[in-house]
Amino acid sequence: MGNLGGPDFFMENPTIVDNASRPFTPWLNDHDPKRCFCAWELWFLWGARTVTNLGKAKLVQASVLLHPSYITVDDIRGVEIPIAILGAEHDSLSPPKLLNQFKQVLNAKPEIDSYVKIFANVSHGWTVRYDPNDPKAVKAAGKAHKIMINWFDKHLKK
C-alpha cells in the first residue's frame, strides 16, 4: 500500500504501512494526532483527527473531512467552525451509521454551518486512491472535490 497519509512533519518519521520493521499500529500510537499542529498547512491529507482538533480549537476557518477515520461523535460535537463530511457507503472506519450520528450532532448546532453526505458505491479513500481509468470512480472523486472546493470558497475569508 505504500504511503498512507504523507510524511510525519513532527518527528521526521514517515507513515509507511508496508515497512515490516515499523507496522502502522505502533506508529499511530507513537504519533498521536493531538500533537500534530505543526506544519499542518503544508499538506492536503492531514487526517480527520487533526482537522477536527483544528476545528475544535478554531485554528482554521472551515474544514472538510473526506472519508474520515479515527474520530468520534464527541470529536464532532466539539467542532466550532463550518465543517463538511463526505463519507463512503462502504467504509469500516466511518460507516454510514457513524456518519449519520455526526450529522445529527451537527444538525443540533444550527449556528455552525455543516454538510454531511454519504457517497454510494465507494469505499474508504475513494477521493484520493481511485482508478483513473474507472469513469465511475473518477466521477465520484470529482464530485467530492467540487463539493470541497465550493465549501472552502463559501467559508474562507478572502
Return the domain boundaries, the chain: 1-31, 42-155
Instruction: Determine the pLDDT at residue 80.
Output: 93
Taking only the tens place, the pLDDT of each residue in 3-31 is 344 444 445 555 554 555 566 667 666 66
Give the burial string for 114-129 (b: 16+ CB within 10 Å, else e). Answer: bbbebbeebebbbbee
Q: Which CATH number fits domain 42-155: 3.40.50.300, 3.20.190.10, 1.10.760.10, 3.40.50.1820?
A: 3.40.50.1820
pLDDT for the residue numbered 126: 86
Confidence at residue 61, expressed as pLDDT on a 0 to 100 scale: 92
Mark the ranges of the chain whose per-residue pLDDT is less than 70.
1-25, 27-46, 158
Predicted local confidence at residue 77, as pLDDT: 95
- Give the per-residue pLDDT at 143: 95
Per this entry, what is the length of the chain?
Answer: 158
The CA distance from 67 to 93, in Å, is 8
Contacts 24+ apart (CB under 8 A), 32-41: 33/70, 35/10, 36/9, 36/10, 38/9, 38/10, 39/9, 39/10, 40/9
User: What pLDDT sits at residue 15?
Assistant: 55
